[in-house]
């Protein structure tokens, strides 16, 4: 996948997670009308806050799609969501199955982005940090 297309997918996924994550925080009754009643408000709001945070992260870094880090976060989050839906599919509404299909598309997009460059996974400190330590 070209990096421009990868950045667009990360931007779409970022907005999807940010808005979807904020929804139960801002208006739980409408959220529950669509996805069903939630017995634990704390857990629902925590999950929403985490999705919103991941969405904000993907939006902040979508232009760096080639680094691999954002693709990894995007793919792992989507894969986790699919796994949970598959585990509980018999007790979920159809909208959750539709969400899982979209999440599977996000997993595929992250996988098609190619392997991350080895430089982004390097354990070596940046050159600027190394040179400033030598001066001290």
Higher-scoring residue by pLDDT: 134, 12 = 12
pLDDT value of position 76: 97
pLDDT value of position 68: 82
C-alpha to C-alpha distances, 66 to 58, 72, 87, 114, 115, nearest whole angstrom:
13, 11, 32, 9, 9
Average pLDDT over the chain, rounded to whole? 85
Query: Are the C-beta atoms of residues 79 and 45 closer than 8 Å to each other?
Result: no
Q: How far apart are CA 44 and CA 48, in angstroms?
A: 6
Based on the structure, what is the number of domains in the chain?
A: 1
CA-closest candidate to residue 50, choices 81, 90, 29, 91: 81
Q: Which of 5-14, 15-24, 123-132 has the lowest mean pLDDT?
A: 123-132
pTM: 0.79
Digit-coded pLDDT (tens) for 26-81: 999 999 999 999 999 999 999 999 999 999 999 998 777 556 889 999 999 999 99
pLDDT at 132 over 60: no
Q: Domain residues for 69? A: 3-135
Q: Give the helix/strand (H/E) hosting 34.
A: helix 28-35
């Amino acid at each position: 996948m070209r990096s421009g297309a990868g950045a667009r997918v990360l931007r779409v996924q970022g907005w999807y997670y940010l808005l979807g994550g904020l929804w139960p925080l801002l208006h739980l009754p409408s959220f529950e009308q669509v996805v069903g009643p939630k017995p634990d408000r704390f857990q629902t709001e925590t999950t929403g806050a985490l999705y919103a945070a991941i969405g904000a992260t993907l939006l902040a870094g979508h232009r760096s799609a080639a680094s691999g880090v954002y693709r990894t976060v995007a793919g792992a989050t989507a894969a986790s969501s699919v796994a949970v839906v598959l585990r509980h599919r018999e007790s979920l509404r159809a909208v959750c199955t539709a969400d899982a299909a979209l999440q599977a598309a996000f997993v595929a997009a992250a996988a098609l982005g190619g392997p991350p460059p080895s430089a982004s996974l390097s354990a070596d400190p940046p050159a600027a940090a190394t040179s400033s330590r030598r001066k001290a």
